[in-house]
Amino acid sequence: MTGSATGTPAAAREHARSMAGLRVEAMPTIPASDAQDLPPGVEKDAVVWDETLAAGGYASRRLNRGTRLKLTDVHGDACVSMLAFNAEQPVERLNVADTLKVQWNAYLGAGKLILSDMGRVLFSILEDTALDHDALCGASNAVGYGDGQDFASRPNARERFLLALARYGLGRRDIHPCVNWFKGVRVAQDGETCLTVGPFPPGRHVTLRAELDIIVVLANCPHVLDRREYTVTPVRATAWRGPPTPEDDPIRTATPEGLRSFQNVEDYLRR
Amino acid sequence: MKTDALSGLKGRVIHDQIVLARAPWSHVVRAGETLRIIDVEGNQAVDFLIYSLEDDAERYSFQDTIAAQRNIYLRAGSILRSTEGRPMMTILDTAVAYHDTIGGACSCESNTLRYGHHTRAQHSCVDNFLMANAADGRTKRDMTPNINWFMNVPVEADGTLGIVDGISAAGLHVDLRAEMDVTVVVSNCPQINNPCNGFNPTPVRMIVAA
């Protein structure tokens, strides 16, 4: 077609290549060592992943043992649903019930552990400035969002999980109960679940330490109990290399139950 | 067996079975049928999973159930929901104030964290679930946190929770109406390290009425 910018293969190639260098808010930093605004003490060369997930966006990533993962609620209205698997044998995965029961508490925060269904710790929570999280209510789904389809403008977390897991050959049977970061649920005396949606200040963050090689899956969609008009803002994921947890680590030794979850990891890695 | 075990149960009894202490059990319950579970000797935790008979990738979801009713406790009227948010079963009636669905199942692995490595060889609910599911071709991927009938897990104001002394008693029951064709999978909990079974696992009775 004469005059069109994409009428011939050469013109289409030129058109495609002219997009290079475009910057948007929700995109990965490539190479990750170009990431800006790193936490104090983190060397650029140690950064292994830096990506901002869109409102409604998702990601999955393999993290080696010792890696730190910082999730930042950039604008103050993110809600990040998270799944986690042992990367070596993904049939081992996050178990929310064991995570709560073993730690004798329903709430997550700094110093708490994320446990697998095999009696091992997957993540330690090193730092938490958000304080509002939820392990009870799970991922949003199409029931909560009428047009909450991946192809529409209001995706839900469950469908985002499906797309993320498919990249690893995993599917519906592998979507286990999740943890929701940045939106808080508290339990009232009669058992009622009470959601806190903010408004929150920008920049709240949670930093996790991978205690095994892990596949982490993130979906940034409104909380399942959030009855406001569909609203969610981008979240930034930044990960950097770090040493495996030493024997005298204060989180490792904080409780007898937690200590045994680290000992079970160390036992698993004896080879 | 008490003669009033059928009291208030509507329809014709099509199945009536004792599940031995520590044993697994599974059964198909068709839409509209009612499953009555009787805590025969009192304070016996019954770990319970539900799978859609048509497509067992759809299964019970404790988080969908809690989110939809905005409450962590299961009581008369609670709707037990699937991973797709659909009603699987409804609690028609129960003589116990509330039941648990955040405590999950005991496993050989989690027992090592909760009580010590000396418990590693003890029988567990996850072993029962794996065994019962295997008969239908389901595997560890199909495991998910379950319901614990007759188990008491209070959550305090600061989030502190734990499995404490039960609030059930001998002969109390829960009635569940199937809202779709389902396979229910049960572990009659063998745990002996906490009060969920009064430190003494006992039989339970399963009655299905149509």
How far is Cα A133 from Cα A158, in angstroms, rounded to an integer? 18
Residue B1 pLDDT: 44
- pLDDT by residue (tens digit) across B159-185? 999 999 999 999 999 999 999 999 999
Cβ A50 vs Cβ A185: under 8 Å: no
In the predicted model, is pLDDT for residue A160 greater than 50? yes
Of A172, A178, A264, the CB nearest to B112: A264
Indicate whether B126 belongs to any domain. Answer: yes
Write down the pTM of the prediction: 0.96
> Which ipTM did the prediction report?
0.96
Residue A27 C-alpha, separation from nearest chain B C-alpha, in angstroms:
30
Residue B37's pLDDT band, with cuts at 50, 70 and 90, is very high
How many domains is chain B built from?
1
Indicate whether B191 belongs to any domain. Answer: yes
Q: Which residue of B has its CA nearest to A143?
A: B85
Residue B3 pLDDT: 52
Determine the residue among A120, A131, A141, A173 to mutate to test chain B binding: the one whose Cβ has the most chain B Cβ atoms within 10 Å: A173
**What dihedral angle (degrees, nearest 10) is formed by the CA atoms of A228, A234, A240, A244?**
10
How far is Cα A5 from Cα A237, in angstroms, rounded to an integer? 37
Domain that holds residue B194: 10-209
- Share the mean pLDDT of chain B: 96
Indicate whether B78 belongs to any domain. Answer: yes
Indicate whether B107 belongs to any domain. Answer: yes
Residue A250's Cβ-count burial label (10 Å; 0-12, 13-18, 19+) is: exposed
Residue B20: which H helix or E strand, with range?
A: none
Residue B2's pLDDT band, with cuts at 50, 70 and 90, is very low
Are the Cβ atoms of A96 and B145 closer than 8 angstroms? yes
Indicate whether B5 belongs to any domain. Answer: no
Indicate whether B2 belongs to any domain. Answer: no
- pLDDT by residue (tens digit) across A41-52? 999 999 999 999
Cβ B147 vs Cβ A183: under 8 Å: no
Are the Cβ atoms of A193 and B61 closer than 8 angstroms? no
Indicate whether B1 belongs to any domain. Answer: no
